[in-house]
Structure 1
Amino acid sequence: MEKEHFGARFDENGNCMFRLFAPHVQTVGINFNNDPDHIFMMNQTDYGFHELTLKNLTSDTSYSFLLNASKKIPDPASLWQPEGINTYSTVFDHHKFDWEGDNFSGLPINEMIIYEAHVGTFTKEGTLRALISKLDYLSELGINTLELLPVAQFAGHRGWGNKTVFPYAVHNGYGTPDEFKALVKASHDRGIAVILVVEFCQHNIVKSLSSAFDSFFCDIHTTTHGKAINFDEQYSFGVREFYIQCALSWLRDFHIDGLRINNAETIYDQSPIHFLEELSTRIRSFEKENNRKCVLIINDHHNSTRSIQPNDKGGYGFDALWDEDFHHALHYRITGDINGVFRDYRYPEKMVSAMQYGFAYRGEFSDYRKRIHGCNTQEFSGSKLVIYSQNHEQTICTGEECRTIKKAGFEAAKLSAGAVLLSPYTPLLFMGEEYGETAPFNYFSDYSTAPSLNETLDKHYHELKFSQEKQLDPSDESAFTTSQLDWNKKDSEQGRAMLAFYKKMLLLRKEHPALKEPCHNRCQVQEIKPGVILMLRNPSTSDGRYAVVIFNFNKVAITEKLESYLPTGPWTLKLYSGARAFGGYGVPLDKILSTTTPLELAAQSFAVYFHTPLNI
């Protein structure tokens, strides 16, 4: 039951076709420019669709749908809501943007270095146009993929974006559709792919739209957001197609290079072909037809690997899984936090398992969750797991201590970054961590009917056990303004040291074959003494260009002889997080790893050595 589009769309000849899926509505008219005498009746077609094609319409014409000659609503698939969510929609012509020179065809997941950003807080202006001014900075840092938290039209002016109202439209508080395209094109000019986070597990229906969404929610399944989206009951064919076309619109019309599907475990579907499998299959067809690579990442809090298995093995065919298990194990090692779910990660083997296999829990019982968590599988590439030390969810936490650098200090922040960036998995940085940003990422929303902070944290982040009394009221403007990055920190002494440290790590990962190798079977991890973890990375080539990383998670310096754990040297020092150049206070390390003298690592530091011939 494929439809080419929903809403209003111009063809290349300037004709505009309108399509609305509303099987419970008898008649639909289109009202232009709020003129009661300017109404065109749509044709009711098969399966609950209403359609009409008109000529001589101009872009920026306002329109509404008139249901059953009484209820006027904006278009659920609106491409542009310049005046917000409770008013008319605006016709928008995607053909008018000049994409000439945009020959970027995407990146495969195993090459991505992802940077997660929120448009509203990334700059003081909080706009798409302002974000463009930071692209050169990201490119120089070593970032090749920009992941944007939801930019679809949401309720209110300020918010996380996860309460989507118009999933096809760019949020009017961030800028226009063409300004979003300009951001994508400018990113491509610098070799940066753009991934968009989308919310297909929930749909925030405001009162003015409720009558058009009778078929969009199911009666059987419920989630923490309320009724689940209807992917498998009566009229689900139209609902599934609505969201598939939404995904294709972002890829086709905005040249987005990938999508991250949020909270996929709350997408309930008992159909013979799961919605997520159908979505990936359609996007793979789009890839082939357009000679592009469109990466699909999924966020599933159950750590189910079915989503990243190929279709012919019963999977959904996604490229990568958002891996919070790695974060939780790392968070405990860095901070010692045993609140909420983190208490399940207090066992030493959990960090080793996360570094070796990507998951701390691989089919074992989780005491906090009171169930088996994860599954035991090693069949996929390490690049299929996206890992991080910080992200937008993990920085809600307690007051000013949201960021790792505030919770555990400067050296610990560098240590946690090394555990992520030197692993065989796909790394993700959260905006500002590369220069030691300390601003939290509070939960904020200025929409009048937004849920309370307590309700939001209890429903969606109960596992993390946040201290709610230290949180700001989401509707208070300060919850938003204190979440904005302070770019002046980048130019402080500590900021410059941290930034140089990140640039060096990203360069090493990019250039050395062992650090680029995504096969976690070529990564051997062992805890050689309490708090000291050795990670040996092997390249796929047979030239012996090994890399080894020695992590000291202890809060005191350690000494250890390493020759019994390593292939015969020489081993050349390439990076030491405790070095003075990176703001550390460790004793300088020898350039060549000694076979007789123990290595001395400063507290909460790590060192990287390459197995290379000695250069004299």
Structure 2
Amino acid sequence: MTVFEVWAPEAGRVEVETGEDGARHLMGPVEGRPGWWAAKVPEAGHGTDYGFVLDGGEVLPDPRSRWQPHGVHGRSRVYEHDRFPWHDQGWHGRPLPGGVLYELHVGTFTPEGTFDAAVGRLDHLVELGVDFVELLPVAAFPGRHGWGYDGVDLWAVHEPYGGPDGLKRFVDACHAKGLAVVLDVVYNHLGPSGNYLGNYGPYFTPAHQTPWGQAVNFDQADSDEVRTFVIENALAWLRDFHLDGLRLDAVHAIADGRAVHLLEELSARVDALAAHLGRELVLIAESDLNDPRLVTPREAGGHGLDAQWSDDFHHALHAALTGERQGYYCDFGPLAVLAKALTEVFVHDGAWSTFRGRRHGRPVDRLRTPAHRFLGYLQNHDQIGNRATGDRLPAGLDAGLLKVGAALVLTAPFTPMLFMGEEWGAATPWCYFTDHTEPELARAVTEGRRREFARHGWGAGEVPDPQAVETFRSSVLDWAEPGRPPHRELLAWHRDLIALRRRLPDLTDPRLTEVAVEYDEAARWLVLRRGTVYVAASFGSGKTVAPVSGDLLLASDPGIAVDAGSVTLPGASVAILAAAPGPAPR
């Protein structure tokens, strides 16, 4: 027997249609739960297809569907979570401090593009030394392939990836190998195709606008049920799929004017679930606000999230390595800016932002805020895929500068994150790709993408068509690359860096007060100090000498030489040294 429930506060009559014969069952109001309807169907169970009918209209998928085998426009299917045979009973999670994350898109991680195929590559991640796998969104979205940020069935798992059982097999396999799993979830908007939430009730509000249209209704009339919908969804991913954390997409686009912000409420509920389950659970935000209140504990007046992405560190390091200054890179590039990002987290901490045309951000309290609450990265899905051709850094940087970038990411005070294939300098691009079946929407996406980059001088033929299958296929990782030079050497470099990070306590020390940077803008060298560990990097093309010495732990170039009081660096190289305790560079 299955009890079907749905929130449809504006409907006068609700039915549930079940089975192959399309039998309809009248649903009745639920006492004490305004707007809710329910019906018991004795013959329905795991695997039964169903949909809801509002006031005699079309059959719609369940807003809380756990299984969408027929796609986002099709009927839902009953899914019983307790049928899955888990093997991770001894798993208690991993702490975020000291960890290394690896961002992964299921559809392009392997040629097969499934959870089961990804399981076959987990040994690579274990040997690399990462601790967390961060999955791009897997909630059901239109078509077969896409980034997943246009998901519409937030409780269901994208069927082409392997559906709900496929995700569970992946998580179970990760836990067996000591890997925690974080899932990217999107609560600031839904995609346009297959989005039927508005048919059921006021899930959206015209009171706020987002880049994607009307905002999700978190603070207007009837928003209590919408907030519950989102919070229970988050808890379901963590509880029912045994996930270890969530990455919350673009929280700056969550419009919530209530006294207790949605993020604070979610943080409290996740902490309560972690206590009940007896395992570590983490919440990581993506935010453009540069506001440390996101990661400030609730008892200190913050939202209580565990960490947030740090785009300022990315921009500072990217611009220093590549020389790019267009768009939001206009305030970045000098080593002084990179030094500020390494020691103070936010470059825009109330300072002027040329790109925004105003002051932006708030300072991080270096004494009280641990650095592990900020994720540092050189590449991620946005910073690659939102480029016109989806070109990765190896398309424009030589191996020397790639090693410099990797060293600074993995020795910086932040929680480091790699994007899939970055560890071997993947030559494959990672483009923006979609698979919309509606001709008008498909055309709008293609034309919009080309129009966006035309403003920056790109011709229409130069920008890959998001709807073209080849654009998607070109983004799939080539697993023959890690075994070939120069990819093999770069992979070994990343493994050595992660192993060194794990071995030296100074490299996982979260105290920002123990971080110092010295640099020479003209000579293009920078020295990062983490306790007694020095990272000396050359960003220039010629030989340079940095005023630091010690025992050489790792060197990216055989020409690196350490003398009394200095290290000689060939162009585009980096050395990591252990020095005796002493005064930190200023």
Q: Same fold per TM (> 0.5)?
A: yes
Aligned with residue 536 of structure 1, among 509, 517, 529: 529
Whether 2:21 is the aligned partner of 1:35: answer yes
Q: CA deviation at 1:69?
A: 2.7
Question: What's the counterpart of residue 429 of structure 1?
Answer: 418
Aligned with residue 72 of structure 2, among 85, 106, 111: 85
SS at match of 1:110: coil
Whether 2:180 is the aligned partner of 1:212: answer no
Q: CA deviation at 1:588?
A: 4.8
Question: What's the counterpart of residue 514 of structure 1?
Answer: 506
Question: What's the counterpart of residue 393 of structure 1?
Answer: 382
In the alignment, is the contact (CA less than 8 A) between 2:198 and 2:204 conserved in 1? Answer: no
Question: What's the counterpart of residue 392 of structure 2?
Answer: 403
Whether 2:5 is the aligned partner of 1:19: answer yes
Tell me the amino acid that sits aligned with residue 442 of structure 1. C
Q: CA separation of 1:419/1:513 partners in 2, compared to 1, >3 Å: closer, same or farther?
A: same
Aligned with residue 377 of structure 1, among 364, 368, 380: 364
Q: CA deviation at 1:21?
A: 1.4
Question: What's the counterpart of residue 62 of structure 1?
Answer: 49
Q: CA deviation at 1:377?
A: 2.0
In the alignment, is the contact (CA less than 8 A) between 1:102 and 1:188 conserved in 2? Answer: no
Tell me the amino acid that sits aligned with residue 559 of structure 1. V
Whether 2:279 is the aligned partner of 1:292: answer yes
In the alignment, is the contact (CA less than 8 A) between 1:80 and 1:92 conserved in 2? Answer: yes
Identity of aligned residues (%): 33
Aligned with residue 604 of structure 1, among 564, 572, 583: 572
Tell me the amino acid that sits aligned with residue 384 of structure 2. T
Q: CA separation of 1:612/1:468 partners in 2, compared to 1, >3 Å: closer, same or farther?
A: farther
Q: CA separation of 1:63/1:42 partners in 2, compared to 1, >3 Å: closer, same or farther?
A: farther
In the alignment, is the contact (CA less than 8 A) between 2:154 and 2:233 conserved in 1? Answer: yes
Tell me the amino acid that sits aligned with residue 463 of structure 2. Q
Aligned partners of 2:246, 2:257: CA distance in 1, in Å? Answer: 23
SS at match of 2:34: helix
Question: What's the counterpart of residue 484 of structure 2?
Answer: 492
Q: CA deviation at 1:214?
A: 3.6
Aligned with residue 548 of structure 1, among 534, 549, 555: 534
Which stretch has the larger CA shift, 392-401 or 157-166?
392-401
Q: List per-residue Cα deviations over 1:234-264 (Å, max 9, x = no partner).
A: 1101111111111011001100000000010
Q: CA separation of 1:43/1:91 partners in 2, compared to 1, >3 Å: closer, same or farther?
A: same
SS at match of 2:385: coil
Tell me the amino acid that sits aligned with residue 117 of structure 1. L
Question: What's the counterpart of residue 102 of structure 1?
Answer: 89
Aligned partners of 2:148, 2:297: CA distance in 1, in Å? Answer: 30
Q: CA deviation at 1:315?
A: 1.2
Q: List per-residue Cα deviations over 1:361-381 (Å, max 9, x = no partner).
A: 221010111111221122310
Aligned partners of 1:348, 1:134: CA distance in 2, in Å? Answer: 37
Tell me the amino acid that sits aligned with residue 487 of structure 2. G
Aligned partners of 1:196, 1:55: CA distance in 2, in Å? Answer: 35
Aligned with residue 578 of structure 1, among 536, 540, 557: 557
Aligned partners of 2:277, 2:547: CA distance in 1, in Å? Answer: 55
Which stretch has the larger CA shift, 343-352 or 134-143?
343-352
Q: List per-residue Cα deviations over 1:302-348 (Å, max 9, x = no partner).
A: 22212111112221110001111111111110011111110111344
Question: What's the counterpart of residue 594 of structure 1?
Answer: 563
Question: What's the counterpart of residue 429 of structure 2?
Answer: 440
In the alignment, is the contact (CA less than 8 A) between 2:560 and 2:568 conserved in 1? Answer: no
SS at match of 2:9: coil
Which stretch has the larger CA shift, 170-179 or 373-382?
373-382
The number of aligned residues is 572
In the alignment, is the contact (CA less than 8 A) between 1:327 and 1:388 conserved in 2? Answer: yes
Aligned partners of 1:193, 1:495: CA distance in 2, in Å? Answer: 26
Unaligned runs of 5+ in 2: 582-586
Question: What's the counterpart of residue 233 of structure 1?
Answer: 220
Question: What's the counterpart of residue 584 of structure 2?
Answer: none
Tell me the amino acid that sits aligned with residue 537 of structure 1. R
Q: CA deviation at 1:78?
A: 0.6
SS at match of 1:19: strand
Cα RMSD of the aligned pairs, angstroms, is 2.1
Correspondence 1:315-394 to 2 at 5 A: 315-378=302-365, 379-394=368-383
SS at match of 1:181: helix
Whether 2:76 is the aligned partner of 1:76: answer no
SS at match of 2:383: coil
Off by >6 Å, runs of 4+ in structure 1: none
Q: CA deviation at 1:38?
A: 4.0
Q: CA deviation at 1:205?
A: 4.7
Whether 2:50 is the aligned partner of 1:50: answer no
In the alignment, is the contact (CA less than 8 A) between 1:528 and 1:534 conserved in 2? Answer: no
Q: CA deviation at 1:296?
A: 0.3
Unaligned runs of 5+ in 1: 1-14, 539-545, 564-570, 580-586
Tell me the amino acid that sits aligned with residue 419 of structure 1. L
Question: What's the counterpart of residue 7 of structure 1?
Answer: none
TM-score by length of structure 1 reads 0.89
Q: CA separation of 1:578/1:129 partners in 2, compared to 1, >3 Å: closer, same or farther?
A: same
TM-score by length of structure 2 reads 0.93
In the alignment, is the contact (CA less than 8 A) between 1:355 and 1:423 conserved in 2? Answer: yes
